[in-house]
A and B are shown apart, each in its own frame.
With several copies, the nearest count.
Chain A
Amino acid sequence: MSVDHDHLRIVEALLFASAEPLSTAVLAERLPHGADAEAVIEELQRQYETRGVRLVRVAGKWMFRTAEDLSYLMSREVEEPRRLSRAAVETLAIIAYHQPVTRAEIEAIRGVSASKGTLGMLLETGWIRLRGRRRAPGRPVTYGTTEAFLTHFGLDAIQDLPGLDDLKGAGLLEGQIPPGFHIPLPSDDPALTDSEDPLESEDLADLAPNDEE
Protein backbone atom coordinates (compact mmCIF):
# COMPACT_ATOMS: atom_id res chain seq x y z
CA MET A 1 0.00 0.00 0.00
CA SER A 2 1.51 3.25 -0.96
CA VAL A 3 0.58 6.29 1.02
CA ASP A 4 2.30 9.59 0.54
CA HIS A 5 4.82 9.95 3.34
CA ASP A 6 4.07 13.64 3.75
CA HIS A 7 0.36 12.94 4.17
CA LEU A 8 1.22 10.38 6.79
CA ARG A 9 3.35 12.91 8.64
CA ILE A 10 0.61 15.53 8.58
CA VAL A 11 -2.05 13.21 10.00
CA GLU A 12 0.42 11.85 12.53
CA ALA A 13 1.36 15.34 13.69
CA LEU A 14 -2.26 16.44 14.01
CA LEU A 15 -3.38 13.38 15.92
CA PHE A 16 -0.31 13.39 18.12
CA ALA A 17 -0.75 17.03 18.95
CA SER A 18 -4.39 16.76 19.91
CA ALA A 19 -5.66 15.42 23.20
CA GLU A 20 -9.15 15.05 21.74
CA PRO A 21 -10.29 12.58 19.11
CA LEU A 22 -10.35 14.06 15.59
CA SER A 23 -12.79 13.11 12.88
CA THR A 24 -11.72 11.91 9.47
CA ALA A 25 -13.29 15.05 8.04
CA VAL A 26 -11.16 17.37 10.16
CA LEU A 27 -8.02 15.48 9.18
CA ALA A 28 -8.97 15.44 5.51
CA GLU A 29 -9.45 19.20 5.60
CA ARG A 30 -5.79 19.65 6.40
CA LEU A 31 -4.50 17.29 3.77
CA PRO A 32 -3.79 18.48 0.22
CA HIS A 33 -6.83 18.36 -1.99
CA GLY A 34 -7.57 14.90 -3.33
CA ALA A 35 -5.62 12.99 -0.68
CA ASP A 36 -7.26 9.82 0.61
CA ALA A 37 -7.54 10.54 4.31
CA GLU A 38 -8.96 7.13 5.14
CA ALA A 39 -6.09 5.30 3.49
CA VAL A 40 -3.62 7.50 5.35
CA ILE A 41 -5.28 6.82 8.68
CA GLU A 42 -5.39 3.11 7.99
CA GLU A 43 -1.69 3.01 7.16
CA LEU A 44 -0.86 5.06 10.24
CA GLN A 45 -2.89 2.73 12.40
CA ARG A 46 -1.02 -0.23 10.95
CA GLN A 47 2.35 1.33 11.63
CA TYR A 48 1.50 1.97 15.28
CA GLU A 49 -0.04 -1.45 15.83
CA THR A 50 2.89 -2.82 17.80
CA ARG A 51 4.08 0.40 19.44
CA GLY A 52 3.68 1.84 22.90
CA VAL A 53 1.13 4.26 21.54
CA ARG A 54 -1.77 3.18 19.37
CA LEU A 55 -4.19 4.84 17.03
CA VAL A 56 -7.73 3.90 18.04
CA ARG A 57 -11.21 4.81 16.95
CA VAL A 58 -13.50 6.20 19.62
CA ALA A 59 -16.87 7.87 19.21
CA GLY A 60 -16.38 7.58 15.46
CA LYS A 61 -13.18 9.65 15.59
CA TRP A 62 -9.46 8.97 15.86
CA MET A 63 -7.02 9.41 18.69
CA PHE A 64 -3.64 8.22 19.87
CA ARG A 65 -3.72 6.43 23.21
CA THR A 66 -1.12 4.53 25.16
CA ALA A 67 -1.24 0.78 24.57
CA GLU A 68 -3.57 -1.15 26.86
CA ASP A 69 -0.98 -3.67 28.00
CA LEU A 70 1.15 -0.87 29.43
CA SER A 71 -1.53 0.32 31.82
CA TYR A 72 0.30 -1.27 34.75
CA LEU A 73 3.14 1.09 34.05
CA MET A 74 1.20 4.21 33.29
CA SER A 75 -1.29 4.25 36.10
CA ARG A 76 1.37 4.47 38.78
CA GLU A 77 1.06 8.15 39.26
CA VAL A 78 -2.53 8.66 38.33
CA GLU A 79 -4.61 10.30 40.92
CA GLU A 80 -7.48 8.07 41.93
CA PRO A 81 -10.43 8.82 39.69
CA ARG A 82 -13.49 9.91 41.55
CA ARG A 83 -15.32 6.99 43.03
CA LEU A 84 -18.81 6.50 41.76
CA SER A 85 -21.33 4.94 44.09
CA ARG A 86 -22.76 1.58 43.26
CA ALA A 87 -26.08 3.26 42.52
CA ALA A 88 -24.42 5.75 40.18
CA VAL A 89 -22.59 3.06 38.24
CA GLU A 90 -25.75 1.01 37.92
CA THR A 91 -27.70 4.05 36.80
CA LEU A 92 -25.02 4.88 34.24
CA ALA A 93 -25.24 1.36 32.81
CA ILE A 94 -29.01 1.55 32.62
CA ILE A 95 -28.84 4.88 30.81
CA ALA A 96 -26.21 3.55 28.39
CA TYR A 97 -28.12 0.39 27.52
CA HIS A 98 -31.64 1.78 27.58
CA GLN A 99 -31.24 5.28 26.25
CA PRO A 100 -33.20 7.37 25.70
CA VAL A 101 -34.59 6.67 29.14
CA THR A 102 -36.49 8.66 31.75
CA ARG A 103 -35.85 8.77 35.46
CA ALA A 104 -39.07 6.82 36.09
CA GLU A 105 -37.88 4.07 33.76
CA ILE A 106 -34.52 3.90 35.52
CA GLU A 107 -36.35 3.59 38.79
CA ALA A 108 -38.59 0.86 37.42
CA ILE A 109 -35.57 -1.18 36.41
CA ARG A 110 -33.80 -0.66 39.73
CA GLY A 111 -37.03 -1.03 41.68
CA VAL A 112 -36.05 1.87 43.87
CA SER A 113 -36.43 5.60 43.67
CA ALA A 114 -33.35 7.39 42.42
CA SER A 115 -31.24 8.60 45.27
CA LYS A 116 -30.75 12.32 45.45
CA GLY A 117 -27.89 13.51 43.43
CA THR A 118 -27.15 10.37 41.44
CA LEU A 119 -28.26 11.81 38.13
CA GLY A 120 -26.78 15.17 39.03
CA MET A 121 -23.44 13.56 39.74
CA LEU A 122 -23.54 11.65 36.48
CA LEU A 123 -24.36 14.86 34.64
CA GLU A 124 -21.32 16.37 36.29
CA THR A 125 -19.05 13.65 34.95
CA GLY A 126 -20.11 14.75 31.48
CA TRP A 127 -20.96 11.16 30.57
CA ILE A 128 -24.70 11.65 30.42
CA ARG A 129 -26.84 14.43 29.10
CA LEU A 130 -30.41 15.55 28.84
CA ARG A 131 -31.78 14.52 25.47
CA GLY A 132 -35.30 15.85 25.26
CA ARG A 133 -38.66 15.02 26.67
CA ARG A 134 -40.59 11.76 26.36
CA ARG A 135 -43.87 11.87 24.51
CA ALA A 136 -45.81 10.56 27.48
CA PRO A 137 -47.92 11.87 30.33
CA GLY A 138 -45.89 14.37 32.33
CA ARG A 139 -43.45 14.66 29.43
CA PRO A 140 -40.44 13.69 31.54
CA VAL A 141 -36.89 14.56 30.53
CA THR A 142 -35.01 11.77 28.76
CA TYR A 143 -31.35 10.92 29.41
CA GLY A 144 -28.66 9.53 27.14
CA THR A 145 -24.88 9.22 26.98
CA THR A 146 -22.41 11.67 25.48
CA GLU A 147 -19.38 11.51 23.26
CA ALA A 148 -17.24 11.90 26.37
CA PHE A 149 -18.78 8.66 27.61
CA LEU A 150 -17.67 6.84 24.46
CA THR A 151 -14.21 8.38 24.65
CA HIS A 152 -13.73 7.52 28.30
CA PHE A 153 -14.81 3.92 27.94
CA GLY A 154 -13.05 3.45 24.60
CA LEU A 155 -16.14 2.74 22.54
CA ASP A 156 -16.46 3.57 18.88
CA ALA A 157 -20.24 3.67 19.05
CA ILE A 158 -22.95 2.93 21.56
CA GLN A 159 -23.68 -0.27 19.62
CA ASP A 160 -20.28 -1.55 20.80
CA LEU A 161 -21.36 -1.73 24.44
CA PRO A 162 -20.25 -5.06 25.92
CA GLY A 163 -22.85 -7.79 25.81
CA LEU A 164 -25.38 -5.69 23.97
CA ASP A 165 -26.40 -8.40 21.54
CA ASP A 166 -26.90 -10.95 24.29
CA LEU A 167 -29.05 -8.60 26.29
CA LYS A 168 -31.06 -7.76 23.25
CA GLY A 169 -31.46 -11.41 22.38
CA ALA A 170 -32.66 -12.16 25.90
CA GLY A 171 -35.29 -9.45 25.53
CA LEU A 172 -33.88 -7.55 28.48
CA LEU A 173 -33.60 -4.22 26.75
CA GLU A 174 -37.19 -3.82 25.76
CA GLY A 175 -38.16 -2.21 29.00
CA GLN A 176 -41.80 -1.43 29.10
CA ILE A 177 -42.05 -0.01 25.67
CA PRO A 178 -44.43 -2.00 23.54
CA PRO A 179 -42.51 -3.92 20.89
CA GLY A 180 -43.17 -2.65 17.43
CA PHE A 181 -42.96 0.96 18.40
CA HIS A 182 -39.23 1.05 18.77
CA ILE A 183 -36.12 -0.67 17.70
CA PRO A 184 -35.07 -2.07 21.06
CA LEU A 185 -31.50 -0.88 20.82
CA PRO A 186 -29.95 1.93 22.72
CA SER A 187 -29.30 4.97 20.62
CA ASP A 188 -27.41 8.11 21.40
CA ASP A 189 -28.36 9.59 18.07
CA PRO A 190 -28.72 13.27 18.80
CA ALA A 191 -31.86 13.33 16.71
CA LEU A 192 -34.89 12.75 18.88
CA THR A 193 -36.66 9.41 18.52
CA ASP A 194 -40.30 8.96 17.64
CA SER A 195 -41.21 8.90 21.28
CA GLU A 196 -39.35 12.08 22.13
CA ASP A 197 -40.54 15.57 21.52
CA PRO A 198 -39.32 19.03 21.87
CA LEU A 199 -42.21 20.82 23.48
CA GLU A 200 -44.50 23.11 21.60
CA SER A 201 -45.69 26.22 23.24
CA GLU A 202 -49.36 25.26 23.31
CA ASP A 203 -48.51 22.12 25.27
CA LEU A 204 -46.83 24.06 27.92
CA ALA A 205 -49.75 25.50 29.77
CA ASP A 206 -50.57 22.36 31.74
CA LEU A 207 -46.96 21.54 32.45
CA ALA A 208 -45.87 24.60 34.25
CA PRO A 209 -45.51 23.78 37.94
CA ASN A 210 -47.56 26.24 39.94
CA ASP A 211 -47.69 28.55 37.03
CA GLU A 212 -49.89 31.04 38.76
CA GLU A 213 -48.12 33.54 40.89
Chain B
Amino acid sequence: MVGDGEATGATVPADTWEVEDQPRLPIEDGEPKLIVDVDGFEGPLDLLLALSRAQKVDLARISILELADQYLQFIEAVRTRRLELAADYLVMAAWLAYLKSRLLLPVPPKDDEPTGEELAAELARRLRRLEAMRDAAVALMGRNRLGRDVFRRGMPELMVVENRPVFEASLYELLTAYADHRQRRMITSVRVERRQVWALAQAREILERLVGELNDWTSLDVFLATYIPAEERATVLASSFSASLEMVREGQLELRQSRAFGTLYLRRARGDDAQGGSARGGGVAGTEDDGKR
Protein backbone atom coordinates (compact mmCIF):
# COMPACT_ATOMS: atom_id res chain seq x y z
CA MET B 1 0.00 0.00 0.00
CA VAL B 2 2.85 2.26 0.76
CA GLY B 3 6.08 3.05 -0.90
CA ASP B 4 5.59 2.45 -4.56
CA GLY B 5 2.40 4.24 -5.36
CA GLU B 6 4.10 6.19 -8.08
CA ALA B 7 5.79 3.14 -9.41
CA THR B 8 4.42 3.29 -12.91
CA GLY B 9 4.84 7.00 -13.26
CA ALA B 10 8.51 7.45 -12.67
CA THR B 11 10.31 5.59 -15.36
CA VAL B 12 8.92 3.25 -17.89
CA PRO B 13 11.97 1.42 -19.08
CA ALA B 14 12.25 -0.49 -22.27
CA ASP B 15 9.87 -3.38 -22.24
CA THR B 16 11.17 -6.84 -21.91
CA TRP B 17 8.94 -7.89 -24.72
CA GLU B 18 7.99 -6.36 -27.95
CA VAL B 19 4.83 -4.36 -27.91
CA GLU B 20 3.49 -4.34 -31.38
CA ASP B 21 1.85 -1.00 -31.65
CA GLN B 22 1.70 -0.51 -35.33
CA PRO B 23 -1.14 -2.34 -36.97
CA ARG B 24 0.21 -5.35 -38.73
CA LEU B 25 -2.54 -5.02 -41.25
CA PRO B 26 -2.60 -1.76 -43.15
CA ILE B 27 -6.11 -0.99 -44.30
CA GLU B 28 -7.10 1.50 -46.93
CA ASP B 29 -10.76 2.13 -47.59
CA GLY B 30 -11.63 -1.13 -45.96
CA GLU B 31 -9.50 -3.03 -48.43
CA PRO B 32 -7.12 -5.34 -46.67
CA LYS B 33 -3.71 -5.31 -48.24
CA LEU B 34 -2.40 -8.77 -47.79
CA ILE B 35 1.09 -7.82 -46.81
CA VAL B 36 0.92 -9.78 -43.65
CA ASP B 37 0.72 -13.49 -43.49
CA VAL B 38 -2.15 -14.72 -41.42
CA ASP B 39 0.44 -16.60 -39.40
CA GLY B 40 1.38 -13.27 -37.92
CA PHE B 41 -1.83 -13.27 -35.94
CA GLU B 42 -2.53 -15.13 -32.80
CA GLY B 43 -5.86 -16.50 -33.84
CA PRO B 44 -9.07 -15.03 -35.21
CA LEU B 45 -9.79 -12.78 -32.23
CA ASP B 46 -6.38 -11.21 -32.61
CA LEU B 47 -7.06 -10.63 -36.29
CA LEU B 48 -10.46 -9.13 -35.48
CA LEU B 49 -8.88 -6.85 -32.91
CA ALA B 50 -6.29 -5.66 -35.42
CA LEU B 51 -9.02 -5.00 -37.96
CA SER B 52 -11.14 -3.14 -35.44
CA ARG B 53 -8.21 -0.97 -34.39
CA ALA B 54 -8.02 0.10 -38.00
CA GLN B 55 -11.57 1.44 -37.67
CA LYS B 56 -10.06 3.92 -35.24
CA VAL B 57 -13.07 4.14 -33.00
CA ASP B 58 -13.78 3.19 -29.46
CA LEU B 59 -14.31 -0.52 -29.31
CA ALA B 60 -17.61 0.15 -27.58
CA ARG B 61 -18.91 1.91 -30.69
CA ILE B 62 -17.34 -0.23 -33.33
CA SER B 63 -19.35 -1.33 -36.32
CA ILE B 64 -19.48 -5.07 -35.98
CA LEU B 65 -21.12 -5.36 -39.37
CA GLU B 66 -18.25 -3.56 -41.03
CA LEU B 67 -15.82 -5.61 -39.02
CA ALA B 68 -17.46 -8.84 -40.11
CA ASP B 69 -17.23 -7.69 -43.72
CA GLN B 70 -13.56 -6.89 -43.41
CA TYR B 71 -12.85 -10.20 -41.78
CA LEU B 72 -14.71 -12.14 -44.45
CA GLN B 73 -12.94 -10.20 -47.20
CA PHE B 74 -9.65 -10.93 -45.55
CA ILE B 75 -10.39 -14.63 -45.29
CA GLU B 76 -11.61 -14.73 -48.89
CA ALA B 77 -8.47 -13.04 -50.07
CA VAL B 78 -6.25 -15.35 -48.10
CA ARG B 79 -8.10 -18.36 -49.40
CA THR B 80 -7.49 -17.33 -52.96
CA ARG B 81 -3.81 -17.16 -52.18
CA ARG B 82 -3.32 -19.99 -49.77
CA LEU B 83 -5.18 -23.22 -49.75
CA GLU B 84 -5.07 -23.91 -46.11
CA LEU B 85 -6.28 -21.86 -43.24
CA ALA B 86 -6.48 -22.96 -39.65
CA ALA B 87 -9.89 -24.27 -38.70
CA ASP B 88 -10.21 -21.53 -36.10
CA TYR B 89 -10.28 -18.86 -38.77
CA LEU B 90 -12.89 -20.70 -40.80
CA VAL B 91 -15.20 -21.30 -37.89
CA MET B 92 -14.99 -17.64 -37.01
CA ALA B 93 -15.73 -16.75 -40.62
CA ALA B 94 -18.78 -18.98 -40.56
CA TRP B 95 -19.98 -17.48 -37.33
CA LEU B 96 -19.47 -13.94 -38.59
CA ALA B 97 -21.34 -14.72 -41.79
CA TYR B 98 -24.15 -16.02 -39.63
CA LEU B 99 -24.01 -12.95 -37.43
CA LYS B 100 -24.12 -10.75 -40.50
CA SER B 101 -27.27 -12.41 -41.69
CA ARG B 102 -28.82 -11.94 -38.27
CA LEU B 103 -27.94 -8.28 -38.32
CA LEU B 104 -29.20 -7.66 -41.82
CA LEU B 105 -32.29 -9.79 -42.05
CA PRO B 106 -35.32 -9.10 -39.95
CA VAL B 107 -35.74 -12.07 -37.67
CA PRO B 108 -39.22 -13.28 -36.88
CA PRO B 109 -39.66 -12.94 -33.15
CA LYS B 110 -39.11 -16.35 -31.66
CA ASP B 111 -39.11 -17.23 -28.00
CA ASP B 112 -36.11 -15.84 -26.20
CA GLU B 113 -33.44 -15.70 -28.87
CA PRO B 114 -30.94 -12.92 -28.51
CA THR B 115 -31.02 -10.50 -31.38
CA GLY B 116 -28.22 -9.93 -33.82
CA GLU B 117 -27.46 -6.74 -31.95
CA GLU B 118 -27.01 -8.66 -28.74
CA LEU B 119 -24.67 -11.10 -30.41
CA ALA B 120 -22.72 -8.21 -31.88
CA ALA B 121 -22.52 -6.58 -28.48
CA GLU B 122 -21.18 -9.78 -27.00
CA LEU B 123 -18.49 -9.98 -29.68
CA ALA B 124 -17.56 -6.37 -29.03
CA ARG B 125 -17.31 -7.17 -25.34
CA ARG B 126 -14.96 -10.06 -26.04
CA LEU B 127 -12.76 -7.82 -28.15
CA ARG B 128 -12.73 -5.20 -25.42
CA ARG B 129 -11.80 -7.81 -22.87
CA LEU B 130 -8.90 -9.07 -24.98
CA GLU B 131 -7.69 -5.55 -25.56
CA ALA B 132 -8.02 -4.76 -21.85
CA MET B 133 -5.86 -7.76 -21.00
CA ARG B 134 -3.25 -6.65 -23.53
CA ASP B 135 -3.16 -3.21 -21.94
CA ALA B 136 -2.98 -4.76 -18.50
CA ALA B 137 -0.04 -6.87 -19.63
CA VAL B 138 1.79 -3.78 -20.84
CA ALA B 139 1.07 -1.96 -17.57
CA LEU B 140 2.25 -4.95 -15.59
CA MET B 141 5.49 -5.40 -17.48
CA GLY B 142 6.14 -1.67 -17.32
CA ARG B 143 6.12 -1.60 -13.54
CA ASN B 144 9.32 -1.15 -11.63
CA ARG B 145 10.32 -4.76 -11.41
CA LEU B 146 12.50 -6.30 -8.78
CA GLY B 147 15.85 -7.25 -10.22
CA ARG B 148 15.43 -5.00 -13.24
CA ASP B 149 14.51 -1.54 -11.97
CA VAL B 150 14.64 -1.88 -8.24
CA PHE B 151 16.96 -4.15 -6.35
CA ARG B 152 17.02 -6.19 -3.21
CA ARG B 153 19.94 -6.51 -0.85
CA GLY B 154 22.88 -7.85 -2.77
CA MET B 155 24.69 -9.41 0.17
CA PRO B 156 22.02 -10.81 2.43
CA GLU B 157 23.36 -11.92 5.77
CA LEU B 158 20.22 -13.64 6.87
CA MET B 159 17.87 -16.00 5.17
CA VAL B 160 14.79 -15.70 7.27
CA VAL B 161 11.83 -17.24 5.64
CA GLU B 162 8.91 -18.28 7.68
CA ASN B 163 8.78 -22.04 8.05
CA ARG B 164 11.79 -22.28 5.83
CA PRO B 165 12.20 -25.83 4.69
CA VAL B 166 15.58 -27.41 5.05
CA PHE B 167 15.17 -29.15 1.73
CA GLU B 168 14.42 -27.27 -1.44
CA ALA B 169 12.42 -28.41 -4.41
CA SER B 170 9.64 -26.65 -6.26
CA LEU B 171 6.48 -28.12 -7.67
CA TYR B 172 7.70 -27.09 -11.08
CA GLU B 173 10.86 -29.14 -10.64
CA LEU B 174 8.81 -32.07 -9.46
CA LEU B 175 6.49 -31.92 -12.46
CA THR B 176 9.19 -31.42 -15.05
CA ALA B 177 11.20 -34.26 -13.57
CA TYR B 178 8.21 -36.52 -13.80
CA ALA B 179 7.06 -35.39 -17.23
CA ASP B 180 10.58 -35.49 -18.70
CA HIS B 181 11.09 -38.90 -17.35
CA ARG B 182 7.79 -40.29 -18.59
CA GLN B 183 8.44 -38.61 -21.92
CA ARG B 184 11.84 -40.25 -22.29
CA ARG B 185 10.37 -43.67 -21.71
CA MET B 186 7.47 -43.08 -24.05
CA ILE B 187 7.52 -45.02 -27.26
CA THR B 188 7.82 -42.26 -29.77
CA SER B 189 7.75 -44.05 -33.07
CA VAL B 190 4.11 -43.26 -33.62
CA ARG B 191 3.43 -41.89 -37.06
CA VAL B 192 0.32 -39.88 -37.48
CA GLU B 193 -1.27 -39.36 -40.84
CA ARG B 194 -2.61 -36.03 -41.84
CA ARG B 195 -6.08 -35.93 -40.46
CA GLN B 196 -8.93 -35.85 -42.92
CA VAL B 197 -11.59 -35.81 -40.29
CA TRP B 198 -12.53 -33.40 -37.63
CA ALA B 199 -12.45 -35.18 -34.34
CA LEU B 200 -15.50 -34.79 -32.19
CA ALA B 201 -13.54 -33.19 -29.43
CA GLN B 202 -11.92 -30.79 -31.86
CA ALA B 203 -15.19 -29.65 -33.35
CA ARG B 204 -16.60 -29.07 -29.93
CA GLU B 205 -13.53 -27.35 -28.57
CA ILE B 206 -13.22 -24.93 -31.45
CA LEU B 207 -16.86 -24.00 -31.28
CA GLU B 208 -16.73 -23.41 -27.58
CA ARG B 209 -13.57 -21.39 -27.70
CA LEU B 210 -14.55 -19.15 -30.55
CA VAL B 211 -18.19 -18.60 -30.16
CA GLY B 212 -17.87 -18.80 -26.44
CA GLU B 213 -21.46 -19.41 -25.70
CA LEU B 214 -24.14 -20.57 -28.04
CA ASN B 215 -26.77 -18.44 -26.44
CA ASP B 216 -29.13 -18.56 -29.33
CA TRP B 217 -30.37 -21.10 -31.82
CA THR B 218 -27.54 -21.47 -34.24
CA SER B 219 -27.03 -23.50 -37.34
CA LEU B 220 -23.43 -23.39 -38.30
CA ASP B 221 -23.49 -25.95 -41.06
CA VAL B 222 -25.03 -23.58 -43.57
CA PHE B 223 -22.20 -21.14 -43.09
CA LEU B 224 -19.51 -23.68 -42.57
CA ALA B 225 -20.38 -25.03 -45.99
CA THR B 226 -19.08 -21.82 -47.50
CA TYR B 227 -15.72 -22.10 -45.83
CA ILE B 228 -15.02 -25.75 -45.43
CA PRO B 229 -13.85 -27.63 -48.52
CA ALA B 230 -16.55 -29.91 -49.89
CA GLU B 231 -14.64 -33.09 -49.18
CA GLU B 232 -14.39 -32.24 -45.51
CA ARG B 233 -17.94 -31.09 -45.13
CA ALA B 234 -19.37 -34.51 -44.32
CA THR B 235 -16.94 -35.14 -41.52
CA VAL B 236 -17.41 -31.66 -40.11
CA LEU B 237 -21.18 -32.11 -40.09
CA ALA B 238 -20.97 -35.58 -38.62
CA SER B 239 -18.60 -34.54 -35.88
CA SER B 240 -20.56 -31.46 -35.01
CA PHE B 241 -23.77 -33.43 -34.90
CA SER B 242 -22.51 -36.20 -32.66
CA ALA B 243 -20.70 -33.70 -30.49
CA SER B 244 -23.94 -31.82 -30.04
CA LEU B 245 -25.91 -35.00 -29.23
CA GLU B 246 -23.38 -35.78 -26.57
CA MET B 247 -23.70 -32.31 -25.12
CA VAL B 248 -27.51 -32.54 -25.17
CA ARG B 249 -27.25 -35.73 -23.18
CA GLU B 250 -25.03 -33.93 -20.68
CA GLY B 251 -27.65 -31.22 -20.41
CA GLN B 252 -25.38 -28.57 -21.85
CA LEU B 253 -27.09 -28.02 -25.18
CA GLU B 254 -30.54 -27.96 -26.67
CA LEU B 255 -31.22 -29.15 -30.16
CA ARG B 256 -34.12 -28.16 -32.41
CA GLN B 257 -35.38 -29.31 -35.77
CA SER B 258 -38.64 -28.00 -37.15
CA ARG B 259 -39.28 -30.74 -39.72
CA ALA B 260 -37.78 -33.95 -40.92
CA PHE B 261 -34.43 -33.35 -42.70
CA GLY B 262 -34.78 -29.70 -41.83
CA THR B 263 -31.91 -27.61 -40.56
CA LEU B 264 -30.70 -28.48 -37.09
CA TYR B 265 -30.35 -25.64 -34.64
CA LEU B 266 -28.48 -25.80 -31.41
CA ARG B 267 -27.99 -23.58 -28.42
CA ARG B 268 -26.68 -23.76 -24.92
CA ALA B 269 -29.13 -25.18 -22.44
CA ARG B 270 -30.72 -22.48 -20.34
CA GLY B 271 -28.89 -22.72 -17.07
CA ASP B 272 -31.57 -21.29 -14.84
CA ASP B 273 -33.85 -24.22 -14.12
CA ALA B 274 -33.51 -27.94 -14.29
CA GLN B 275 -30.14 -28.01 -15.95
CA GLY B 276 -28.72 -25.59 -13.43
CA GLY B 277 -26.31 -28.12 -12.13
CA SER B 278 -24.25 -28.60 -15.20
CA ALA B 279 -24.70 -25.22 -16.78
CA ARG B 280 -23.36 -23.25 -13.86
CA GLY B 281 -20.25 -25.27 -14.02
CA GLY B 282 -18.20 -22.36 -15.21
CA GLY B 283 -15.98 -23.47 -18.06
CA VAL B 284 -18.34 -23.38 -20.94
CA ALA B 285 -21.37 -21.74 -19.54
CA GLY B 286 -22.13 -18.18 -20.57
CA THR B 287 -23.89 -15.37 -18.89
CA GLU B 288 -27.29 -14.33 -20.00
CA ASP B 289 -26.51 -10.75 -19.21
CA ASP B 290 -23.22 -10.46 -20.98
CA GLY B 291 -24.69 -9.76 -24.39
CA LYS B 292 -26.85 -6.95 -23.17
CA ARG B 293 -24.19 -5.02 -21.44
Which residues of A come within 8 Å of B, CB atoms? 13-14, 16-20, 22-23, 25-26, 45, 54-57, 63-69, 71-90, 92-94, 96-97, 102, 104-105, 107-113, 120, 123-127, 129-130, 134-138, 140, 151-156, 160-163, 167, 170-179, 181, 183, 195
| B108-154, CB < 8 A from A | 125-126, 128-130, 132-137, 139-141, 143-154
Given that A66-B157, A74-B157, A92-B140 are contacting pairs, would A152 and B130 also be in contact in the complex, using a CB cutoff of 8 Å? no
Given that A45-B3, A92-B137, A170-B128 are contacting pairs, would A64 and B153 also be in contact in the complex, using a CB cutoff of 8 Å? yes
Can you list, as one digit per residue, whether each of B44-62 has a CB less than 8 Å from chain A (1) or not (0)?
1110000000000000000
B17 to A83, Cβ gap below 8 A? yes
CB distance from A74 to the nearest CB of B (A): 5
CB distance from B278 to the nearest CB of A (A): 7
CB distance from B195 to the nearest CB of A (A): 12
Residue B37 lies at the interface, judged by CB distance under 8 Å to chain A: no
Given that A77-B160, A137-B281 are contacting pairs, would A65 and B151 also be in contact in the complex, using a CB cutoff of 8 Å? yes
B152 to A75, Cβ gap below 8 A? no
Centre residue among B3, B182, B192 by max chain A CB count within 10 A:
B3
A111 to B174, Cβ gap below 8 A? no
Give 9 new A-B contacts, CB below 8 A, not counting A79-B166, A87-B42, A154-B7.
A20-B154, A22-B160, A68-B10, A71-B148, A74-B149, A90-B177, A111-B130, A136-B283, A178-B188
Given that A20-B155, A82-B166, A97-B133 are contacting pairs, would A111 and B16 also be in contact in the complex, using a CB cutoff of 8 Å? no
Q: Which residues of B contact A73 (CB under 8 A)?
A: 158
Residue B186 lies at the interface, judged by CB distance under 8 Å to chain A: yes
Chain A residue with Cβ nearest B212: A108
CB distance from B174 to the nearest CB of A (A): 5
- Contact sample, A vs B, 18 pairs, CB 8 Å cutoff: A20-B152, A26-B162, A66-B157, A68-B6, A74-B149, A75-B13, A89-B173, A93-B136, A93-B178, A105-B283, A109-B133, A123-B171, A151-B146, A154-B145, A162-B175, A171-B125, A172-B128, A174-B183
Q: Which residues of A contact B46 (CB under 8 A)?
A: 110-112
Q: Which of B71-79, B228-236, B237-245, B285-293 contacts A (4 or more CB under 8 A)?
A: B285-293
Q: Which residues of A contact B20 (CB under 8 A)?
A: 86
A68 to B7, Cβ gap below 8 A? yes
Which residues of B come within 8 Å of A, CB atoms? 1-4, 6-8, 10-11, 13, 16-18, 20, 42-46, 88, 125-126, 128-130, 132-137, 139-141, 143-162, 164-183, 185-188, 190, 192, 205, 208-210, 212-213, 250, 252, 271, 278, 280-290, 293
A93 to B144, Cβ gap below 8 A? no
Task: Give the secondary structure class of B's interface.
Answer: loop
Q: How far is A89 from B281 in the complex, measured between Cα atoms in Å?
A: 28
Q: How far is A14 from B162 in the complex, measured between Cα atoms in Å?
A: 13
B186 to A177, Cβ gap below 8 A? yes
B171 to A176, Cβ gap below 8 A? no
CB distance from B277 to the nearest CB of A (A): 10
Q: Which residues of B contact A13 (CB under 8 A)?
A: 151
B162 to A163, Cβ gap below 8 A? no
Chain B residue with Cβ nearest A23: B162
CB distance from A100 to the nearest CB of B (A): 10
Q: Which residues of A contact B1 (CB under 8 A)?
A: 57, 156, 160
Q: How far is A83 from B208 in the complex, measured between Cα atoms in Å?
A: 32
Given that A90-B133, A97-B178, A179-B287 are contacting pairs, would A75 and B148 also be in contact in the complex, using a CB cutoff of 8 Å? yes
Chain A residue with Cβ nearest B250: A137
A153 to B283, Cβ gap below 8 A? no
Report the number of A-B residue pairs with Cβ-Cβ less than 8 Å.
Answer: 341
| A154 in complex: contacting residue of B11, B150, B157, B178, CB < 8 Å | B150
Chain A residue with Cβ nearest B148: A81
Q: Which residues of A contact B283 (CB under 8 A)?
A: 102, 104-105, 134, 136-138, 140, 176
Chain B residue with Cβ nearest A142: B282
Q: How far is A153 from B130 in the complex, measured between Cα atoms in Å?
A: 22
Chain A residue with Cβ nearest B278: A137
| B152 in complex: contacting residue of A19, A102, A170, CB < 8 Å | A19
Given that A110-B130, A136-B282 are contacting pairs, would A92 and B169 also be in contact in the complex, using a CB cutoff of 8 Å? yes
CB distance from A28 to the nearest CB of B (A): 12
Chain A residue with Cβ nearest B144: A68
A172 to B175, Cβ gap below 8 A? yes
B16 to A83, Cβ gap below 8 A? yes
Q: Which residues of B contact A172 (CB under 8 A)?
A: 125, 128-129, 132, 175-176, 179-180
Q: How far is A93 from B88 in the complex, measured between Cα atoms in Å?
A: 23
Centre residue among B45, B146, B165 by max chain A CB count within 10 A:
B146
